[in-house]
Amino acid sequence: MAARSLAVFPRSPVEHDGAVYGLASAAGVLRLLVAGPDGAAAGFEVAERAGSGRFVLHVCPVHHANAERLRAVLPGAAPSPLASRDATFGTGDRLGLAGPGHLAVFRRFAASPVLAQQSLRELTLTSRTYEEVLDASTWAVFREGWRDAWGADGDHLKSEEWVRRALAIGYTMITADVSDFIHGEWAVKSDAEALAQWQTLDAGVRRGLEERYLRSSFPVDTGEAVRFTPAELARTALVYGEAVDHAARLHRACVAQMGEGRFDFELSIDETATPTTPQAHVFMARESSRQGVAISSLAPRFVGEFQKGIDYLGDVREFERSFAVHAALCRSLGHRISVHSGSDKFSVFPAIGRLSRGRFHVKTAGTSWLEALRVVAAADPALFRDLYAHARRTYDNARKLYHVTPELSRLPDPAGLPAAAAAALLDDRDARQVLHITYGEMLAVPALKRRLFDLLAGSADAYAAALERHIGRHLAALGVPSRS
């Protein structure tokens, strides 16, 4: 490849330790460039060299080994813990193509991006690996000349093995999902039933919990205080006691892999049927802390419903009252509040930003996928119809993994769907949910996947602009200030 055929991304060049690094494209193929003395590219796989002596241009392939080396060499190419930041925002990129658009948003808004954010469910459905997800974010950061900190989240991890693996790969945040150890059936039992079961617990455990919770109140800066009755303590301990133990196991795995204080640890208790009470929030945070868990952020299960890719479902005023208590507890207990399934929750974003006093983490993913489909609908309505038709056919299978409630009877038939109607589906609540959760079904069809990626490769600027606009709406509604 002749050096003159390379088109350098203008924001990418950066000088470090006597060499200049940049990212370029030649006929649609990305190449890493390292310019400097002959040894400047040590540790990189080099495909071609041009020049000699004190100036050699090394042309390197863009692949995993070189991404790892870039993260080791260049400050900023690797993710960092972000717990000390006020506002952070997860932008899960299921296709590996959204990074430039996401970073364009964060140039405008003073929040820190968590760019590499995927769950094991998403990895399975997209046939990707944690390495591929992190590498895609690394190349986007490098391409766009992003110099500020950014994060990488091993999302909703349940096992010590996966926690260790994600951190070893280079992820800097672990979202610890303890839902398998939350016994929600006790949340709806009567006081008498909960108190009877409480008596079956070890007497020493009961005595310690009673001393810590029945003899104290837990004031917050709103002037309120959280208190426990005997029945509330019994119920909370029965629901969450084993979850505390599992959180401690996952945290110990993080410490064993990374050392103390070198990772962000988010505790997720949102994957339950019943909302998290203030008592449960206090119990999970304090009991986890007693076992040595340093919580960076905590994700409660809020009142109402945070379904995928649509606005909040529920009473907004009730949400505000409940969220205010949880946000105040976060301030009192020393961690930030986290909002999962945060895509498109515009009716409650202002309250989240205001009541958290600008200290929050919000996770999104599906909305960036839907913006990719919006680009498809505008550029190739026929492809969009094929994707939509496949989504309709496979919806029943996809919904086994997600809680959504669309009315399929209200959706138009894919056959003969006009171009204008195709684009309008991306603003329809029912269609958004169907298209959101069937991404894995679409990507499992090689022909559809190839057509989708080919179109987005040719529409990269349109996709980046769509993301900048749409994710920007999220951050603006959350009250994130503009960068000066």
Mean pLDDT in residue range 304-309: 96
As a whole number of angstroms, the distance between CA 330 and CA 295 comes to: 10
Tell me the pLDDT tens digit for each residue of 93-134.
999 999 999 999 999 999 999 999 999 999 999 999 999 999
pLDDT bucket at 3, cuts 50 / 70 / 90: low
Q: Are residues 338 and 379 both part of a single domain?
A: no
The average confidence (pLDDT) of the chain is 97
Sign of the alpha-carbon torsion through 210, 214, 217, 218:
positive
> Does 484 reside within a domain?
no
> Does 43 reside within a domain?
yes
Q: Which helix (H) or strand (E) holds 173?
A: strand 173-177
Mean pLDDT in residue range 427-438: 97
Q: Are residues 107 and 66 both part of a single domain?
A: no
Expressed as residue numbers, the domain containing 338 is 87-184+215-365
> Does 195 reside within a domain?
no
The answer to whether 299 touches 269, Cβ cutoff 8 Å, is yes
Query: Treating both helix axes as pointing N-terminal to C-terminal, what angle do 230-258 and 160-169 enclose, rounded to 10 degrees?
Result: 40
**Does residue 334 surpass a pLDDT of 90?**
yes
**Does residue 54 surpass a pLDDT of 90?**
no
Q: Which residues pair with 89 in a beta bridge?
A: 113, 362
Q: Are residues 239 and 331 both part of a single domain?
A: yes
Tell me the pLDDT tens digit for each residue of 179-219.
999 999 999 999 999 999 999 999 999 999 999 999 999 99
Backbone torsions φ then ψ of 141, nearest 5 degrees: -60, -45
Tell me the pLDDT tens digit for each residue of 78-89.
999 999 999 999
Q: Are residues 266 and 300 both part of a single domain?
A: yes
As a whole number of angstroms, the distance between CA 67 and CA 85 comes to: 26
**DSSP state at residue 302:** -
Look at residue 4 in the predicted model and tell me its pLDDT: 63
> Does 203 reside within a domain?
no
Q: pLDDT over 70 for what percent of the chain?
A: 99
Q: Are residues 334 and 371 both part of a single domain?
A: no
Q: pLDDT over 90 for what percent of the chain?
A: 95
Look at residue 384 in the predicted model and tell me its pLDDT: 97
Tell me the pLDDT tens digit for each residue of 157-178.
999 999 999 999 999 999 999 9
Q: Are residues 289 and 147 both part of a single domain?
A: yes
Token pair recorded at residue 409 = 């009877």
The answer to whether 78 touches 151, Cβ cutoff 8 Å, is no
Q: Are residues 385 and 306 both part of a single domain?
A: no
The answer to whether 352 touches 324, Cβ cutoff 8 Å, is no
> Does 82 reside within a domain?
no
Q: Are residues 410 and 311 both part of a single domain?
A: no
Catalytic residue among 93, 266, 371, 380: 266
Catalytic residue among 122, 144, 153, 155: 155
Q: Are residues 26 and 159 both part of a single domain?
A: no
- The domain boundary, picked from 341, 365, 389, lies at 365
Mean pLDDT in residue range 322-349: 98
Geometric angle at alpha carbon 369, from 366 and 374, rounded to 5° = 125
**Does residue 1 surpass a pLDDT of 80?**
no
Backbone torsions φ then ψ of 31, nearest 5 degrees: -140, 135
> Does 142 reside within a domain?
yes
Query: For this structure, is 264 an active site residue?
Result: no
Q: Are residues 106 and 255 both part of a single domain?
A: yes
Q: Is 198 exposed, middle or buried (0-12, 13-18, 19+ CB in 10 A)?
A: buried
Q: Which residues pair with 29 in a beta bridge?
A: 26
- The domain boundary, picked from 365, 395, 422, lies at 365
Total-model pTM: 0.96
> Does 199 reside within a domain?
no
Q: Are residues 158 and 300 both part of a single domain?
A: yes
As a whole number of angstroms, the distance between CA 91 and CA 42 comes to: 33
Mean pLDDT in residue range 246-264: 99
Q: What is the CA radius of gyration of the chain?
A: 24
Q: Which CATH number characterizes residue 155's domain?
A: 3.20.20.70
Mean pLDDT in residue range 365-392: 98
- Beta strand residue intervals within 204-322, DSSP E: 218-219, 225-226, 264-268, 297-299
> Does 30 reside within a domain?
yes
**Does residue 41 surpass a pLDDT of 80?**
yes
Sign of the alpha-carbon torsion through 89, 95, 99, 100:
negative
Query: For this structure, is 155 an active site residue?
Result: yes
Tally of domains in the chain: 3
**Does residue 429 surpass a pLDDT of 90?**
yes
Q: Are residues 342 and 396 both part of a single domain?
A: no
Look at residue 2 in the predicted model and tell me its pLDDT: 52
Mean pLDDT in residue range 444-460: 98
Q: Tell me which of 365-369, 415-419, 431-435 is least confident.
A: 415-419
- The domain boundary, picked from 365, 382, 410, lies at 365
**Does residue 325 surpass a pLDDT of 50?**
yes
